[in-house]
Amino acid sequence: MVTGLLFDIKRYALHDGPGIRTTVFFKGCPLRCAWCHNPEGQSPFSELMVKPSRCLADCHLCLERCPEAAVSKIGNILRVDRQKCRTCGVCAEACPAEALVLIGRRVTASQAAAEIFKDEVFYRRSGGGVTFSGGEPLMQTSFLEELLEECRRREVHATLDTSGHVPWPSLASVQSRVQLFLYDLKLMDEDRHRDLTGVTNLIILENLKRLVHSGSRVVVRLPLIKGINDDRDNIEATADFLRGLGGVERVDLLSYHALGRAKYERLDRPQPAGEYAAPSRRELEQIKNRIQAFGLEVHTGG
């Protein structure tokens, strides 16, 4: 039986494709973007997240239940010994305040489908559907294929949000069952892309080219980080590349936000080096105009 590792299912999503949607977040990503806002989606394994502000002063259930004695509490400060912790999730199950949360649960396709399709009536009324995101869903291709097949069987619109950094056969295997691809582009310069994401962009660009040329509906998403990829050279190189493809449906500009930074501390991971910020509204409008000058449709936001 095929299973998958998910870290969230978000209902009533409005920015991950058309209509009212359910967004399913797959755990595991081949990129390590310095500005990542979902660092809990990077690792392909379950992780324990600690939210100390939620901890109840007089509660010690997590300490009592942890089979490895990996949880400790000094006053109101909750700690997890990551060397001892096996991420079994027993402490998280015991915590009444969700100060300890297991990120990543393994489920079968039928279990995931039972939750996803609770809102099927809203999909049909709004022209919505299901969006598979992450992390990178194509790191769990067999599991994704089963869920896409269920969408096809129910005639529910399926969107795939992807980094594109996967072998082409993985993309090709799901292509016929995906009605819309949300395709992320970060940087055009390969060296800078490698420095800031940990991987080359050559596979990403080639896969995008093949996806568009084979007739798939593709919306390209550009996450914009001030001083990183909002410069004129990168924006115009990106627009020129997309114009050359001849079939990109739209470009969405997504401004950086800092909501992910607190998650690093909760996962006991070092904060990414550097300070990141979003372009101003004026700068965002200039970027939009610059891309539109290449004959591309551009939206701000997802």
Low-confidence residues of the chain, pLDDT below 70?
Answer: 302
Same domain? For 16 and 130 the reply is yes
pLDDT, position 261: 83
Please state, in angstroms and rounded to a whole number, the distance separating the CA atoms of residues 74 and 6.
32
Same domain? For 83 and 216 the reply is no
Q: Which 3-state string (H, E, C) describes 209-259?
A: HHHHHCCCCEEEEEEECCCCCCCHHHHHHHHHHHHHHCCCCEEEEEECCCC
pLDDT, position 138: 98
Q: How many domains does the chain have?
A: 2
Same domain? For 96 and 51 the reply is yes
Same domain? For 112 and 225 the reply is yes
Give the residue among 50, 81, 46, 47 at the shortest CA–CA distance from 67: 81
Same domain? For 92 and 238 the reply is no
Are the beta carbons of 196 and 225 closer than 8 angstroms?
no
Same domain? For 24 and 161 the reply is yes
State the residue for tokens 């990183």.
228
pLDDT tens-digit map of 6-22 = 999 999 998 899 999 99
Same domain? For 122 and 179 the reply is yes
Same domain? For 38 and 51 the reply is no
Q: Is the torsion defined by CA of 194, 198, 203, 204 positive or negative?
A: negative
Are the beta carbons of 88 and 105 closer than 8 angstroms?
no
Same domain? For 269 and 128 the reply is yes
Does 134 sit behind a cis peptide bond, omega within 30 degrees of 0 on the bond before it? Answer: no
pLDDT, position 301: 79
Q: What is the pTM of this model?
A: 0.94
* 215 Rama class: left (phi>0) / alpha (psi -120 to 50) / beta: left
- The CA–CA distances, whole Å, from 118 to 9, 10, 75, 121 equal 12, 12, 42, 8
Instruction: Count each helix (H run) and each strand (E run) in the chain, helices first.
Output: 11, 13
pLDDT, position 302: 67
Same domain? For 81 and 195 the reply is no
Same domain? For 198 and 83 the reply is no
Please state, in angstroms and rounded to a whole number, the distance separating the CA atoms of residues 48 and 15.
28
pLDDT tens-digit map of 272-294 = 777 899 999 999 999 999 999 99
Please state, in angstroms and rounded to a whole number, the distance separating the CA atoms of residues 255 and 107.
33
To the nearest whole percent, how much of the chain has pLDDT over 90?
Answer: 88
Same domain? For 94 and 109 the reply is no
The domain of 81 spans 47-102
Please state, in angstroms and rounded to a whole number, the distance separating the CA atoms of residues 148 and 121.
18
Are the beta carbons of 73 and 19 closer than 8 angstroms?
no
Please state, in angstroms and rounded to a whole number, the distance separating the CA atoms of residues 193 and 165.
12
